[in-house]
Amino acid sequence: MGYMNTFEAIGSKVFSSKAKENGVDGILIVDMPIEESAEFTEQTKKHDIDVIRLVAPTTSESRIKKICNQASGYVYYISLKGITGANSINAAEVETKVLKLKELTELHDVSYTHMTLPTKRIEELSLELQTFKTYI
């Protein structure tokens, strides 16, 4: 995980090659919009490195579709609006968004964080997701 400027400074071709040599199989760049990632994505694909894409609670469905089409490995859903540690999670909204992600991607994994759902509902949601692995 890192920020775009680090990878841009190295160059996507060099980074992807060195990353593969060192056993990297996936990368999450937190500030890389899909519109600016074509070259990077092309290079990582050549080296069989997944590009994990982020989806926020405020991401529109049309944008989610674009993100899911370019994601590999898994989609990382940021389930909390605001800053880490805030106490403003909407469990029903998270559940709806994660199930929508299941509909919009063929990837088998969706990761989401900051969950405070009751344990029973987590189990039910995990069963509904079936082929998805959920990281809580």
Select from 9, 30, 48 the last residue of a domain.
48
d(C-alpha 43, C-alpha 45), whole Å: 5
Contact between 59 and 67 under an 8 Å Cβ cutoff? The reply is yes
In this structure, the answer to whether residues 66 and 38 fall within a common structural domain is: no
Task: List the beta strands (DSSP E) in the chain.
Answer: 26-28, 50-55, 75-77, 110-112
Split into its structural domains, the chain has a count of 2
Contact between 75 and 107 under an 8 Å Cβ cutoff? The reply is yes
> 95-119: per-residue pLDDT in tens?
788 788 888 887 766 655 544 444 4
18: helix, strand or coil: helix
Which pTM was predicted? 0.71
In this structure, the answer to whether residues 58 and 108 fall within a common structural domain is: yes
d(C-alpha 110, C-alpha 75), whole Å: 5
State yes or no: pLDDT of 17 exceeds 60: yes
Tokens of residue 48, six digits: 């069989």
Q: In Å, what is the CA distance from 102 to each residue of 14, 18, 21, 48, 51?
A: 34, 33, 32, 23, 18
pLDDT of residue 55: 87
Q: Which domain holds residue 117?
A: 52-136
pLDDT of residue 92: 77
